[in-house]
Amino acid sequence: MTKLKNLLLSNKFLISVFLILIIYLIINFYIFPNKSNYSINQTQLDGYILDYKVNDDYLNITLKAKEKVIIKYYFKNLEEKNIFLSNIKLGRKIKVKGSLKEPSSNIIFNLFNYREYLKSKNIYYIMNADNIAFQNNNIDWLYKIKNYIIFKIEKKPKAVEYYYAFILGEKNYINKDIYNAYQKIGITHLFAISGMHINLFVGLLEKILKKLNINKTVQEVLLVLFLLFYMFLTNYAASCLRAVCFYIFSILNKNLRLDLSRKKVLLYTGIFLAFLNPNIVKDIGFLYSFTATLGLIMIANRLYYKKSIKKLLYTSFYATLFTLPITIFSFYEFNPLSIINNLVFVPLISYIVYPLCMISLFIPFLNTLFSYTIQIMQNLALFMNIFTVSIVMEKIKFTFIFIYYFILLMAVIKRNFKYYLYLGILLIIVKLLPFLDSSLYIYFLDVGQGDSILIKDKFAQNTILIDTGGQFSYNDYHLASNTISFLKSMGTSTIDYLIITHGDFDHMGEAIYLVENFNVKNVVFNNDDFNDLELNLIKVLNENNIKYYQNVNYINLYNNKLYFLNNTIYDNENDNSNVIYFNSNQFKLLFMADVGIKVEEQLIYQYNLKNIDILKVGHHGSKTSTSSNFIKEIEPKYSIISVGKNNRYNHPDKEVLKKLENSKIYRTDVNGSIMFKLKNNKLKIKTIS
């Protein structure tokens, strides 16, 4: 035991284990990555239900078979839905028939990658189910308990979504707008089952067990068993896993008299979990929980003699500092006022909301009181959103993260103010980087069957969005939320000009959402009469005091101009589209929107458009555009077709593709989003695929 103690106490041993872990992670992620046990041709799966969620018209199941698989099943009618609801239970065995497909990857740079997210949870396929058959009703006793808790939650008349969040760690039930409000003020970590919740649980149970005069060793065994069960209840959420394992390792450290510091116990906990499941290092919940806990352990001695308000302020400040790179890396913005916001919400949730949630689950008449506290919390969050200060920062590199944590650790260890000053300078430098970039960027964003083109000017002088794409027809998801996240990932917090080429839904359907959720300075319409979609947008523009224009000839860029070529009024919306041209460092770009062959002929008659480098092909590659004469005249080097996968119009047309065969063709349905970077007369092209 003494040898083990000396070994674990040794810093050299800890560093050696950490380096071995790095090698192990590299092997797991890049050399021998995990693969599925299934072939994509598999049509039948047998397993049991790990988790499920019922939406309006479909069922989403996490099935445990040879491996975890996401099952999607669309109800045929309301009667079938009710039958499923009466039969579905966690732990119940089912047989599923359908077709497997890979999860979707990200279609826009820097955004959330659903495929990689599922891979981090060892899920490789989604099955679109044609039939689900329930097997016998023999359910493991652990799942029977969890089903009972879900039954108790569902019977609650109010605030059901918060019972799911605080008891089972399921945050997806919380209203999206409310959750966004929590996110903006920087308190969403309080809804993840982590150290705070575990400490409250342990503290409460310890008091109960002490009053029952139970032996200390038996107490610890019972607490560990309960926490292991609680991990099961939360589907082994990474933040809960970290907190529970840290508690277990702390007990072992004490009982085995290893005398490890809390910091080393935490580090060994993290290393152990990473060896156990390498994907945990990609889990944001785990990273938040681990780094925040590490920071608080490192400053624990400073908190000991502080008064409660100062202690809370120090806790909030250092938890924010230690998790800041994760916030920026994941969301591309942070709210410095979150430190203050946490002073209010940490005690509110820790000492009132969370305990009341646990108690009211089993004491029904307290549900109304719990509901009132939730309402107060929500209103408080919405109120604090008024004062939100959002600092947008471009996607950071790992070099920044390494330098940041090195400086932060020096600041904590040496207690020297100059290191905090260095941190501030580092953040300012990262914030200013886009303004030092002399490149011109053109992004053709994948918005399905629609158009959206983003131009980021040299030195971030102007950000121009040409069209927004149209909205998906299900749920409350907005394509423009992708655009907003992407803008933030480039360090951009403003659209200087939103250009609406014409009033069709697939080009401007997301404009209102964009204007209401992002800072748009100016909007440019085409030259014909406004249709209903455009009038609805203008109403919102007037409400938000945003300027809008028609009959524009050009827009000034940094040392350049963006020209509007189509000034003739035609008898249809497509032909009245804004056609945009500009020349940057001898690279000529032409964006054709949805104009047809008649307009193309007029443009080559009116302007000198020879030797176009980058052509945004008209009308998604429809045969109504892109005539042979037009292509012969402009001779594009690169042709971009913005088009949706398997669209009902069969775009792009085969004849159009043949006409463009002398150019390099990029398609958003094949390549995803496409980037053209122009710098010093050099062109760099990158696709998301």
My answer on whether 119 and 22 are in the same domain is no
Whether 38 maps to a domain, the answer reads no
**Cα–Cα distance, 165 to 446 (Å, whole number):** 33
Helix (H), strand (E) at residue 47: strand 44-54
My answer on whether 307 and 387 are in the same domain is yes
**Cα–Cα distance, 349 to 191 (Å, whole number):** 9
- pLDDT score of 125 more than 80: yes
- pLDDT score of 473 more than 60: no
Q: Quick one: pLDDT band at residue 308, thresholds 50, 70, 90?
A: confident
CA distances from 98 to 35, 44, 63, 127 (A): 21, 6, 13, 6
Closest CA to 471 of 450, 445, 485, 457: 450
The mean pLDDT value for 216-231 works out to 91
In tens, the pLDDT along 69-104 reads 999 999 999 898 998 888 999 999 999 999 999 998
The mean pLDDT value for 132-161 works out to 91
Q: Quick one: pLDDT band at residue 584, thresholds 50, 70, 90?
A: confident
Closest CA to 455 of 483, 478, 482, 429: 483
CA distances from 362 to 150, 151, 155, 207, 356 (A): 12, 12, 11, 19, 10
**How high is the pLDDT of residue 424?**
95
Q: Quick one: pLDDT band at residue 172, thresholds 50, 70, 90?
A: confident
The mean of the pLDDT values for the chain is: 92
Whether 172 maps to a domain, the answer reads yes
**Cα–Cα distance, 543 to 26 (Å, whole number):** 53
What percent of the chain has pLDDT above 70? 98
Last residue of a domain, one of 113, 139, 165: 139
Burial of 525 (0-12, 13-18, 19+ CB in 10 A): buried
My answer on whether 416 and 340 are in the same domain is no
My answer on whether 170 and 79 are in the same domain is no
Looking at the structure of the chain, the number of domains it has is 5
**How high is the pLDDT of residue 214?**
86
**Longest CA pairwise span in the chain (Å):** 95
- Structure-block tokens of residue 665: 């063709």
Whether 37 maps to a domain, the answer reads no
My answer on whether 91 and 105 are in the same domain is yes
**How high is the pLDDT of residue 662?**
95
Residue 334, classed as helix, strand or coil, is: strand
My answer on whether 230 and 334 are in the same domain is yes
- pLDDT score of 305 more than 70: no
My answer on whether 453 and 377 are in the same domain is no
Last residue of a domain, one of 107, 139, 171: 139
Whether 245 maps to a domain, the answer reads yes
Q: Quick one: pLDDT band at residue 566, thresholds 50, 70, 90?
A: very high
**How high is the pLDDT of residue 630?**
96
Q: Residue 146 CA to chain centroid, in angstroms?
A: 29
My answer on whether 669 and 587 are in the same domain is yes
**How high is the pLDDT of residue 194?**
84
Q: Quick one: pLDDT band at residue 322, thresholds 50, 70, 90?
A: very high
My answer on whether 224 and 286 are in the same domain is yes
Helix (H), strand (E) at residue 45: strand 44-54
Q: Quick one: pLDDT band at residue 345, thresholds 50, 70, 90?
A: very high
**How high is the pLDDT of residue 661?**
94
List phi, psi (to 5°) of 465: -115, 120
Instruction: Identify the bridge partners of residue 497 per DSSP, sorted by sequence position.
Output: 464, 522
**How high is the pLDDT of residue 301?**
80
In tens, the pLDDT along 243-265 reads 999 999 999 999 888 888 999 99
**Cα–Cα distance, 76 to 285 (Å, whole number):** 37
Whether 386 maps to a domain, the answer reads yes
My answer on whether 458 and 531 are in the same domain is yes
The mean pLDDT value for 439-451 works out to 95
Whether 61 maps to a domain, the answer reads yes
- pLDDT score of 476 more than 70: no
In tens, the pLDDT along 498-518 reads 999 999 999 999 999 999 999
The mean pLDDT value for 364-376 works out to 93
The mean pLDDT value for 594-623 works out to 95
Per the structure, the complete domain to which residue 601 belongs is given by 437-687
Q: Quick one: pLDDT band at residue 111, thresholds 50, 70, 90?
A: very high
The mean pLDDT value for 395-423 works out to 94
Q: Quick one: pLDDT band at residue 471, thresholds 50, 70, 90?
A: low
In tens, the pLDDT along 30-76 reads 898 888 999 999 999 999 999 999 888 889 999 999 999 999 999 99
What percent of the chain has pLDDT above 90? 73
My answer on whether 588 and 473 are in the same domain is yes
Helix (H), strand (E) at residue 86: helix 78-87
- pLDDT score of 126 more than 90: yes
- pLDDT score of 7 more than 80: no
- Rounded to the nearest 10 degrees, the angle between the axes of helix 2-9 and helix 262-276 is 90
CATH assignment at residue 455: 3.60.15.10
The mean pLDDT value for 329-346 works out to 92
My answer on whether 441 and 431 are in the same domain is no
Whether 286 maps to a domain, the answer reads yes
| DSSP conformation letters of 466-477 | E------SSTT-
Last residue of a domain, one of 395, 415, 445: 395
- pLDDT score of 475 more than 90: no
Bigger pLDDT: 684 or 303? Answer: 684
Does the pTM exceed 0.85?
Answer: yes
- pLDDT score of 472 more than 70: no
Whether 119 maps to a domain, the answer reads yes
**How high is the pLDDT of residue 147?**
94
